[in-house]
Amino acid sequence: MDSSGLGVILGRYKHVKGLGGEMVVCAISPPVKRLFEMSGLFKIVRLEESEAHALATLGVA
């Protein structure tokens, strides 16, 4: 993933947040996790360990 990928994620986050939602990611690879940490995306996007946890967090499981 590069800066354009981060831009896409940020754009989707703004759209979801504008609709009153929240964004959760799960099961990401260590390099992507490090990129999220370095870019500060974890300040606005929650990380869950699995899809089941992510769906439960969002109240849709």
Q: Is the pLDDT of residue 46 over 90?
A: yes
- pTM of the predicted model as reported, rounded to 2 decimal places: 0.79
For position 2, what pLDDT does the model report? 83
- 52 and 19 in contact (C-beta within 8 Å)? no
> What pLDDT score was predicted for residue 3?
84
The pLDDT tens digits for 5-41 are 999 999 999 999 999 999 999 999 999 999 999 999 9
Domains and CATH numbers, the chain: 3-58 (3.30.750.24)
